[in-house]
């Protein structure tokens, strides 16, 4: 199992579209995927779950992966966060 | 505009016509407010059946969404479809489907109540956010909740709406418009929205007459009222008398005939009786619209608005590649005619979802002012446009320029970008013309100076008018003062064309005024050489051009420049159109769409 922190960098935060990007990306991997924020945990393969995090710009999230492809999964998800989900404004 | 003959003044509602046509029928009030689902206790033995009912509703919602996604993708592009793809993802989400099943089972309740309870819980978590934007996104969860509940009570909702009705709503989504159109709805009118909003583009793409910005319409109309939706003038007439109804039925027939006749004009040149050629070009905002160029006989793209690239909730199509793919298709479709790309024009009333709120956005950070501050947006867009320019004639248009320094600063960025492309061995047109929007009065007033440094002018009459007259036409208290044919506005247009003529550069006009048939002869007379409008209006504009002489336009322009009574001048133009342009005046007065 790996756990690593990421920061929400895009200005709009994790709204509907970034949430669906996260879920689509995570669903490509076998590993279980959970996101923790402020003591709250959600299934990272649930778009509604990700939306209910209501994570704003600057929020710190703990990504937790467990499974055979956990490292690949983390890299893929971390890249999305780093890229700000393609949002520039 | 007058009341078009209805006897009860108060029953005529005004808005912006965004998709032309005339619809007559009963009003259907479409409310998006949630149906409050009642809680029903189920006998344990029917719980299985309730599961199945829920599953059937989910399946129907999936079918709907698949249709919506397909039409949206075709008419608005892949990017716009992503929000519905996200909704599709939600239907069988871990946090929805199994939770609803569990709730049905544990509480022995109906599926609708279970959906409402489960989704409310999720929504509340989003609504607790500090971010206003994320709180608003809770609406996406409400959308999916309502979609499922609608399908659970399918029978009632469908029978109410599938008649030949005119839908009245506070606001609609593009998805609503798609579903209405499939059910045979005749037209729609909403309180919110503008000519370039998603709903408007979709209504035009589906030929569904539509009005937007109809203030308070949902309180002025009752379910079942007979309404006339005039998608040409931008009016809604509620409960018309027999005489008005009859007149509009005639008007509807004549409109349809005129549309047919207009088709015959498509292959003919836009030339005045004395041989003066005017270039008629198209305002487009989506790659998906390029078929319309040949369908309506456009000679090029006079204005390609790139804001649509930013439609999906603040996401810009950041990558140069994505932009290039779109731009290239448009350039190729338009070639040998030119394609004029307007640099991303954010701010003002255009969606800038994440921008800080400004007290006075129309005088604030918008257009080129933003782009020169945000080179990370400007440079990829420039590179994409320049690369597309290798595939056909391409022009670059700068929005919201108010000072020469901005043009010069832009040119420095352009030169640097070109140098980089050359270094990388990428092809582009090194002589790509750079023009500016004439929408801030300072540009028209100093047009001589600007003409010496740019390759063309493009007049944006909507903003020019509001800046010159200091009138926000969205403000009911002053909207009557908004007049695009005000002599002061025309004077600025005249100064612009004069300066352009001296400098030997071209002047196009791409605002709503180009679709106002009363204005067309005057604009020709003022020396505008290109008119650019939504393609659907081009045949009618051509009809007027082909019925007049350039010299007549000049005489009318001289009168317009000193017209001290707007009503009188309008009447004069109506008579002129009636005599010259067989029927156009009757139909196409001041359509509110550029």
Other beta carbons less than 10 A from residue B429's beta carbon: 18
Chain B CB within 8 Å of residue A49 CB: yes
**For B355, which DSSP code?**
S
Question: Residues B137-143: what's their mean pLDDT?
Answer: 83
> CB–CB of A15 and B355 under 8 A?
no
**Stretch among B20-29, B88-97, B212-221, B236-245 having the lowest mean pLDDT:** B212-221
DSSP B267-281: TS--B-TTS-B-EEE
Chain B CB within 8 Å of residue A33 CB: no
Q: What is the pLDDT of residue B180?
A: 85
The residue among B152, B178, B198 that closes a domain is B152
Residues B185 and B307 in one domain: no
Residues of chain B with Cβ-Cβ distance to A38 below 8 Å are none
Taking the C-alpha atoms of residue B40 and residue B117, their distance in angstroms, rounded to an integer, is 13
Residues B274 and B384 in one domain: yes
Question: Residues B513-520: what's their mean pLDDT?
Answer: 89
Angle, in degrees to the nearest 10, between helices B242-263 and B538-546:
80
Does the pLDDT at position B195 exceed 90?
A: no
Other beta carbons less than 10 A from residue B250's beta carbon: 11
The answer as to whether B570 is a domain residue is: no
DSSP B283-300: EE--GGGTHHHHHTT-SS
Count helices and strands (H / E) in chain B. 24, 16
For residue B204, what are the CA distances in angstroms to B17, B28, B270, B339? Answer: 10, 20, 24, 21
- Interface with chain B: mutation pick from A14, A17, A37, highest number of B CBs within 10 Å: A17
The answer as to whether B587 is a domain residue is: no
B393 within 8 A of B336, measured Cβ to Cβ: yes
**For B539, which DSSP code?**
H
> CB–CB of B95 and A49 under 8 A?
yes
Residues B503 and B425 in one domain: yes
**For A1, which DSSP code?**
-
CA atoms B559, B560, B562, B568: torsion sign: positive
For chain A, the structural domain boundaries read 2-86
Chain segment B351-394, per-residue pLDDT in tens: 454 445 677 778 888 899 989 998 988 999 999 999 999 999 99
Q: Are strands A40-43 and A32-37 parallel, antiparallel or unpaired?
A: antiparallel
What tokens were used for B263? 């088709």
Chain A CB within 8 Å of residue B375 CB: no
Size of interface A-B (CB pairs under 8 A): 104
Strand intervals (E) in B315-416: 339-342, 394-398
Q: What is the pLDDT of residue B159?
A: 47
B546 within 8 A of B517, measured Cβ to Cβ: no
Taking the C-alpha atoms of residue B477 and residue B197, their distance in angstroms, rounded to an integer, is 24
The residue among B234, B258, B282 that closes a domain is B258
CATH number at residue B122: 1.10.274.10
Chain B CB within 8 Å of residue A9 CB: no
| Residues contacting B156, CB < 8 A, separation 6+ | none
CATH number at residue B330: 3.20.20.60
CB-based burial label for B159 (10 Å; 0-12, 13-18, 19+):
exposed
> CB–CB of A48 and B82 under 8 A?
no
Other beta carbons less than 10 A from residue B548's beta carbon: 22
Chain segment B296-337, per-residue pLDDT in tens: 999 999 999 988 766 544 455 567 888 899 899 999 999 999
The answer as to whether B183 is a domain residue is: yes
The answer as to whether B254 is a domain residue is: yes
The answer as to whether B591 is a domain residue is: no
Residues of chain A with Cβ-Cβ distance to B130 below 8 Å are 56
B344 within 8 A of B381, measured Cβ to Cβ: yes
Q: What is the pLDDT of residue B286?
A: 81
Helix (H) or strand (E) holding B458, with range, is strand B456-459
Chain segment B407-463, per-residue pLDDT in tens: 999 999 999 999 999 999 999 999 999 999 999 999 999 999 999 999 999 999 989
B582 within 8 A of B307, measured Cβ to Cβ: no
Chain B CB within 8 Å of residue A23 CB: yes
Chain segment A23-82, per-residue pLDDT in tens: 999 999 999 999 999 888 999 999 999 999 989 889 999 999 999 999 999 999 999 999
Residues B172 and B85 in one domain: no
The correct answer on CATH 1.20.58.1880 for the domain covering A2-86 is no
Does the pLDDT at position B503 exceed 60?
A: yes
Nearest Cα neighbor of B489 from B470, B468, B503 is: B468
* Total of domains in chain B: 3
Chain segment B261-299, per-residue pLDDT in tens: 888 899 999 999 999 999 999 999 888 889 889 999 999
Residues B429 and B472 in one domain: yes
Question: Residues B515-534: what's their mean pLDDT?
Answer: 93
Locate tokens 């992966």: which residue?
A65
CATH number at residue B21: 3.50.30.10
The ipTM estimated for the assembled molecules is 0.89
> Which residues constitute the domain of residue B249?
9-31+164-258
Q: What is the pLDDT of residue B349?
A: 55
B474 within 8 A of B433, measured Cβ to Cβ: no
């Amino acid at each position: 199992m790996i756990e690593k922190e990421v920061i929400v960098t895009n200005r709009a935060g994790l709204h509907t579209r970034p949430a669906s990007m996260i879920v689509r990306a995570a669903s490509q991997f076998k590993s279980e995927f959970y996101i923790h924020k402020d003591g709250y945990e959600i299934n990272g393969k649930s778009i509604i779950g990700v939306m209910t995090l209501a994570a704003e710009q600057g929020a710190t999230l703990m990504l937790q992966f467990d499974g055979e492809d956990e490292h690949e999964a983390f890299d893929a998800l971390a890249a999305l966060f780093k890229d700000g989900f393609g949002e520039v404004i | 505009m007058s009341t078009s003959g209805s006897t009860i003044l108060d029953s005529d509602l005004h808005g912006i016509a965004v998709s032309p046509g005339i619809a007559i029928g009963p009003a259907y009030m479409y409310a998006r407010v949630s149906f409050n689902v009642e809680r029903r206790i189920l006998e344990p033995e029917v719980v299985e059946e309730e599961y199945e009912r829920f599953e059937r509703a989910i399946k129907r919602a999936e079918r709907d969404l698949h249709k919506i996604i397909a039409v949206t993708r075709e008419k608005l592009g892949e990017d716009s479809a992503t929000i519905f793809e996200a909704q599709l993802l939600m239907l069988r989400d871990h946090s929805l489907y199994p939770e609803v099943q569990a709730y049905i089972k544990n509480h022995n309740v109906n599926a609708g109540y279970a959906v409402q309870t489960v989704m409310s819980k999720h929504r509340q978590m989003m609504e607790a956010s500090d971010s206003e934007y994320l709180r608003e996104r809770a609406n996406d969860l409400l959308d999916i909740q309502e979609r499922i509940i609608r399908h659970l009570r399918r029978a009632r909702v469908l029978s109410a709406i599938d008649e030949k009705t005119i839908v009245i709503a506070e606001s609609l989504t593009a998805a609503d418009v798609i579903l209405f159109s499939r059910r045979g709805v005749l037209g729609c009118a909403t309180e919110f929205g503008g000519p370039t909003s998603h709903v408007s583009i979709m209504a035009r793409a589906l030929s569904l007459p539509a009005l937007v910005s109809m203030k308070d319409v949902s309180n002025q109309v009752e379910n079942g009222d007979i309404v006339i939706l005039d998608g040409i003038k931008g009016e809604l007439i509620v409960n018309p008398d027999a005489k008005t109804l009859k007149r509009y039925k005639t008007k509807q027939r004549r409109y349809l005939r005129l549309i047919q006749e207009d088709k015959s004009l498509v292959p003919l040149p836009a030339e005045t009786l004395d041989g003066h050629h005017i270039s008629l070009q198209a305002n487009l905002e989506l790659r998906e619209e390029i078929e319309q160029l040949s369908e309506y006989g456009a000679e090029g793209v006079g204005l390609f608005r790139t804001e649509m690239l930013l439609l999906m909730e603040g996401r810009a199509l950041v990558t140069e590649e994505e932009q290039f793919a779109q731009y290239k298709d448009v350039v190729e479709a338009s070639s040998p005619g030119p394609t004029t790309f307007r640099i991303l024009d954010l701010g003002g009333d255009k969606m800038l979802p994440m921008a800080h709120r400004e007290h006075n956005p129309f005088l604030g950070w918008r257009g080129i002012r933003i782009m020169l501050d945000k080179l990370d947006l400007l440079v990829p867009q420039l590179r994409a446009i320049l690369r597309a320019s290798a595939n056909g004639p391409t022009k670059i248009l700068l929005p919201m320029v108010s000072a020469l320094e901005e043009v010069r600063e832009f040119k420095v960025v352009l030169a640097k970008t070109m140098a980089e492309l050359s270094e990388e061995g990428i092809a582009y047109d090194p002589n790509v013309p750079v023009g500016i929007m004439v929408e801030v009065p300072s540009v028209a007033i100093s047009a001589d100076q600007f003409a010496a440094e740019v390759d063309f002018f493009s007049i944006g009459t909507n903003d020019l008018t509001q800046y010159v007259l200091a009138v926000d036409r969205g403000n009911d208290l002053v909207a009557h003062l908004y007049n695009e044919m005000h002599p002061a506005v025309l004077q600025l247009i005249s100064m612009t064309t004069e300066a352009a003529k001296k400098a030997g550069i071209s002047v196009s006009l791409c605002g709503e005024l180009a679709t106002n048939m009363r204005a067309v002869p005057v604009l020709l007379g003022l020396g505008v050489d290109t008119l650019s409008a939504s393609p659907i209006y081009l045949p009618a504009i051509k009809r007027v051009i082909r019925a007049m002489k350039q010299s007549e336009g000049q005489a009318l322009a001289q009168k317009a420049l000193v017209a001290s009574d707007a009503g009188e001048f309008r009447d004069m133009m109506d008579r002129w159109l009636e005599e010259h342009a067989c029927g156009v005046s009757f139909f196409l007065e001041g359509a509110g769409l550029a």
